[in-house]
Amino acid sequence: MKSSLTRLAFVTQDKYDMVRRLASGVCRFAMPRNGFITREFFVEEEATALPDSFAEWAPKAVVSFLAADRENLLEAVAEGGRPVVNTARCEPNPGRAVVLGDAEELYTLVHEHFEEIGVRFITQFTMACEEGEFNVRKRYKQHTDAHGLEFHSFDTPFNPPLIEDFDQTTEVDQSLAKWLHELPKPAGVFTQQTRSGPYLCVCCRLLGIDVPGDIAIIGSDGFDVSLASKPQQTASYLPSEAIGFRAAELVAEMLAGKPAPQELIRVPGLRLLVRASTGGLLAQGCNIDAAMKFIHDHACEGIKVNDVVSHTQSVSRMTFHKRFVEATGMTPATAILNRRMSEARRLVAETSLSIGTIAGMCGYHDDLYFSQVFRKAEGVPPRDYRKLQLGD
C-alpha cells in the first residue's frame, strides 16, 4: 500500500483563510483512497529555497500557492519532470500549470451589486500595481471595453507601511486623500488586493467620508480581516476549495501523461459576501461568513449545527441549512466534519500525540469512533496515515 501512494506536496507562502481552504480542496482530492498522500510545506518570507524537509520527503508532484516572484523556487522541481500546479497569479510554463478563480465573475458581480444599491460611478483601486500578464488594471480595462462600460481606476505608487495593521493608520497619503474627496458621490470602489479594502475604510473615516453613504467599498479579504474592518467589509469570496481540488486533479492528469496546459484554468463559483461597507445585509438574515468563521474557530470543541445557528444566525435552522448549502455547496454538518478532519490530519502527521489525545483535541470523546470517522474520510486509519506521512 505504501509504495502505491503518490506523494503530493502543497507549498505555500501564506497561512490566511483562503490558503487554508485551498489546502482543504487539495486534500479532498489527493487522499489515500485516490492514491495520494499529502503534506504541506511553508516557505518563509525571506527564504531563497524550499525547506530541507521538502527534499527529504521527495514528493512526486506539487500544488503551490506562490506569488510570481517566488514561483522560481519550483523551477528545479518542474524541470526534473515532476508536475507543478500553481494557484496564485502567474504565467503557465512548460511543466507548470496555473489554476485560478475567474476575474470575469468578479467584475460582473461588482458592477451588478453596485448598480443594485444605486451606485453608478464605479472605480477600481490598486496599490503599487505591477506590470505584466497579471496586471489587474489592464485586466479590468479589458472587461470594461468588452462590455461597453466606463473604465475608472486609481493606483497608488506604494504599499502603505501599515497595510498589515490597517487599523493603526493615522494619516492618509495626499494623492489618495485628493482622489477620495474628488470621487463623484455616491461612488463604488472595489479592490483585488489583500487588506486594501479595510485600509480604504480607515482612510475614509480619517477624512470624514461616510462609508457606505458616500463611498461603498468591496474588498477581497477572508473572514477575519473583513469582519475586523470598520465598517465590516463586503468582499469577494473565491471558490478556494474548488480551486485546490481542481489543481490536485490536474496534477493527477499530468502524472498520467497529460501535458501541462499552457492556458490558464479558470474555476467558476466566485461570489460576494455582502456586509456593511456597501450597506447591505445577507439574504434573509443568514450570516454565512459568520457561520464559517464560527465553524473554523470552534469545530474541534465538539459543536453541533444547532450551536452554529444559535451563535451566528437570526433565522430558523431549516432556512440556515438551505442558504448554507446554496452558498457553500455543502451542509453545515459537512463543514464541521471537514474542519475537524483538517485539524486531525495536521495533528496525526505533524505530532507524536496519541490517537486518543488527538481525538479529544478534534472534538471526539470516543477514540474508536474517531478512528472510524478518520478512516472513512481519509481511506486509512490514523495510525497508518501517520506511518505514510513519516515514510515508515
Q: What is the pLDDT of residue 179?
A: 97
Q: How confident is the model at residue 133 (pLDDT cuts 50, 70, 90)?
A: low
Return d(Cα 298, Cα 213) in angstroms, integer: 35
Lowest mean pLDDT among 141-150, 274-283, 303-312, 321-330: 274-283
Q: How confident is the model at residue 283 (pLDDT cuts 50, 70, 90)?
A: very low
Return d(Cα 367, Cα 349) in angstroms, integer: 17
Which CATH homologous superfamily contains domain 285-392?
A: Homeodomain-like (1.10.10.60)
Question: Which backbone phi and psi does 42 adopt, to 5 degrees?
Answer: -105, 130
Mean pLDDT of 365-387: 92
Q: What is the pLDDT of residue 169?
A: 82
Given a cut of 90, whether residue 297 has pLDDT beyond it is no
| Residue 302 DSSP one-character state | T
Identical fold, 6-102+239-270 and 285-392: no
Which CATH homologous superfamily contains domain 103-237?
A: Response regulator (3.40.50.2300)
Output the CA torsion sign for 109, 115, 117, 121: positive
* 3-state class (DSSP) for residue 165: helix
Instruction: List the chain domain ranges.
Output: 6-102+239-270, 103-237, 285-392
- In CATH, the number for domain 6-102+239-270 is 3.40.50.2300
As a whole-number percent, the residues of the chain with pLDDT over 90 amount to 50
* 3-state class (DSSP) for residue 95: coil
Structure confidence by residue, pLDDT tens digits, 73-86: 888 888 888 999 99
Average pLDDT, the chain: 88
Of 341 and 311, the structure prediction assigns the larger pLDDT to: 341
CA 150, chain centre distance (Å): 29
Structure confidence by residue, pLDDT tens digits, 42-53: 888 778 888 889
Mean pLDDT of 5-19: 85
Mean pLDDT of 302-326: 88
DSSP string over 7-30: EEEEEES--SHHHHHHHHHHHHHS
Q: What is the pLDDT of residue 280?
A: 66
Return d(Cα 145, Cα 200) in angstroms, integer: 26
Q: What are the helix and strand counts (H, E) for the chain? A: 16, 12
DSSP string over 201-249: HHHHHHHT--TTTTEEEEE---HHHHHHSSSPPEEEE--HHHHHHHHHH
Name the range with the highest mean pLDDT among 43-52, 128-137, 214-223: 214-223
Given a cut of 80, whether residue 162 has pLDDT beyond it is no
Q: What is the pTM of this model?
A: 0.78
Q: Please list, in sequence order, all residues whose beta carbon lies within 8 angstroms of the beta carbon of residue 319, skipping any fewer than 6 positions away.
A: 284, 286
- CB of 103 closer than 8 Å to CB of 50: no
Structure confidence by residue, pLDDT tens digits, 186-211: 999 999 988 899 999 999 999 999 99
Q: How confident is the model at residue 341 (pLDDT cuts 50, 70, 90)?
A: very high
- Please list the residues that pair with 235 across neighbouring strands: 219, 273
Q: How confident is the model at residue 376 (pLDDT cuts 50, 70, 90)?
A: very high
Can you read off the three cell numbers belonging to residue 277?
461597507
- CB of 121 closer than 8 Å to CB of 274: no
Mean pLDDT of 235-242: 89
Q: Which whole-number Å values give the CA distances from 266 to 102, 259, 270, 366, in the listed order?
A: 5, 17, 11, 42
Instruction: Count CB atoms within 10 A of the CB of residue 298.
Output: 16
Given a cut of 90, whether residue 337 has pLDDT beyond it is yes
- CB of 180 closer than 8 Å to CB of 173: no
